[in-house]
Structure 1
Amino acid sequence: MNSGWRRLLAVLPWLVIAVVSCGVTLVAMMPAAWITPQFAKATQGHVNLIEPAGSLWHGSAALVLAAGPDAGAGTLLPGRVQWQTAFWPLLTGHLSMSMRQTPAMPDPIQVAAAPRGAMISAGQIAVPAALLAGLGAPFNTLDLHGAVQLSWTPWRLLGARTYGQLVVTLTDMSSRVSPVKPLGSYRVALQAQGDTSTIDLSTLNGPLMLSGHGAITATTTSFHGKASAVGAASDNLAGLLNLLGRPTGDGAIALDYTR
């Protein structure tokens, strides 16, 4: 073995260490901006992370929730989302993250993803009522105010199929177009069952009574319900009811939507 080969063999371990060190450093410093577009893509613009800081492993970003696919009409939540990503699961093709939004989310959630599916652990988050305006008419006209909380069971995605339950609780809602305050408290339950989902609306309390049932598939959305007023506030709620839908002739308003 000549002297050139001996020098190469002597230097080779140090070259390997240098390459590995550079690779680990690059991975450790992978910017948070690399991950934020994936949330908008996976949720069709409903969940958006903006103004990212830190790295993929330890980072944070502002959270924008959009009721529709237009992120520009979304609602910015106070505080920031913070996350931590485990390194070793990535070596087996799995993603494991812990995420928390302060102060709206009291407990962190776990996000796990693999080539064939993903799961988000159960959790809850308080959101501004202004988020409802992103649904369009009549919500943008009503300008609703009150406490809105989202809670969900473990949410699973298997290919194009989704499984889980999301419950939206609206407490002591009021509107700028109605003198009756509060209008009431309501519960909206979305049940994802693979290729189809169902949505149910019910009234918890209040003079404005809302109810309905709907179904959502990949190509169609339909909802059929009704709105009515009870008690002494009925006369003061007549104008608001006319904004919600068409009269059915029995003092109620039809809440029908099909796409």
Structure 2
Amino acid sequence: MSILSNLKSPAAWWSGGMAATTRWMESTLEVARWENMRKAGRRWGWWGGALGALMGLVLYSPASWLAQGLVVLSDGRLLLAESQGTVWNGDAVVVLTGGPGSRDARALPGRLNWTLRPRLTGLNLTVQQDCCVPTPVVIEVRPGWGRARIAVSPSGPVGHWPAAWLTGLGTPWNTLQLGGVVRLSTNAMAVEWVHGRVRLEGQAQVGFDDVSSSVTTLDRLGSYRIDLVGDPEGRVNLSLMTVDGALQLSGQGQVGLNGLRFRGEARANESERGALDSFLNIIGRRMGDRSVISIG
């Protein structure tokens, strides 16, 4: 009877078949949607993992990476040894060396501390060291296309270092074995690299206070000053002068595309000429009672 009823009612049979087909299609589409969502979730998971790994790499980059970068920039003459922490917050022992192949090295006492922070215009590096840079100094780095600018703030005293630290650079410092203090101060100083050319803006002053040397029997050679001034052509003009002392130093020089060129001379006060004779022979070419210093 039900068979006859279905035969007499084709519309009902057709609608039932369509409903079954529709349910099957909806089920298939639902499975496809779920599969697509699963694949999309997997893709987003991979992207999220990669982004998280990248952020972790950036945020927790080891301090040794910064140390290696400084080795490259200084041609192996300035090292951050025993570095700890990250690129962004770390500390290390600062060492001067004579460069690749040199056995000379001299470390500063204590550890240099730094923080590196990104800014809209570049990076701000803040450094401080109890022995030599007691007041934090900010070095602003502004990279650009084919150029980079480094500015030091605030203006004024930057730090002071033992002159004996220079023996780490090798010859002639390891022969002279200097004593005393080296001081650096700046006035709106900035160094800019433009397509391989270096330009100094502002001024800097390097003081050598109460200098002594193991080469002479004198307890004190004197105090000296080097003034560095940038010019509009991108050159750095420097002048050496004597503040006081038995050893009289003077000279003029310039740092440009061809490196450093300096011409100067050293003389001894008449009363200490005998004690300074060996020292004058080492630092330059003797011409009578004076020693001519020539670089470049």
Identity of aligned residues (%): 27
Change (3 A) 1:241 1:86: closer
SS across alignment from 1:167:
strand
Q: Does 1:243 align with 2:282?
A: yes
Q: Residues 267 and 291 of structure 2 are in contact (CA less than 8 Å); yes or no, is this contact kept in structure 1?
A: no
Change (3 A) 1:8 1:76: farther
Change (3 A) 1:145 1:208: same
Which aligned pairs between 1:128-143 and structure 2 lie closer than 5 A? Answer: 128-133=162-167, 134=169, 136-137=171-172, 139-143=173-177
Extract unaligned runs of 5+ from structure 1: none
SS across alignment from 1:228:
strand
CA deviation after TM superposition for structure 1 residue 192, in Å: 4.4
CA deviation after TM superposition for structure 1 residue 96, in Å: 2.8
Query: What is the distance in 2 between the residues matched to 1:4 and 1:106?
Result: 67
Q: Does 1:61 align with 2:92?
A: yes
* Aligned equivalent of 2:12: none
2:271 corresponds, among 228, 232, 236, to 232
- TM-score for both structures, normalised by structure 1: 0.81
Deviations 1:163-206 (A, max 9, x none): 14442211111122212211111112333446432221111111
Query: What is the distance in 2 between the residues matched to 1:43 and 1:55?
Result: 20
Work out the number of aligned pairs and report it.
252
Q: Does 1:155 align with 2:193?
A: no
RMSD value, Cα: 3.0
* Aligned equivalent of 2:41: 12
Q: Residues 108 and 165 of structure 2 are in contact (CA less than 8 Å); yes or no, is this contact kept in structure 1?
A: no
Which aligned pairs between 1:181-196 and structure 2 lie closer than 5 A? Answer: 181-193=219-231, 195-196=234-235
Query: What is the distance in 2 between the residues matched to 1:221 and 1:26?
Result: 40
Q: Does 1:24 align with 2:61?
A: no
Change (3 A) 1:82 1:220: closer
Structure index of larger Rg: 2
Q: Residues 202 and 210 of structure 1 are in contact (CA less than 8 Å); yes or no, is this contact kept in structure 2?
A: yes
SS across alignment from 1:108:
strand
* Aligned equivalent of 2:255: 216
Q: Match for 1:163: what amino acid? A: L
Deviations 1:84-119 (A, max 9, x none): 2225x3xx6833322223331022222323123121
CA deviation after TM superposition for structure 1 residue 128, in Å: 2.5
2:205 corresponds, among 167, 170, 174, to 167
Change (3 A) 1:75 1:166: farther
Query: What is the distance in 1 between the residues matched to 2:152 and 2:89?
Result: 19
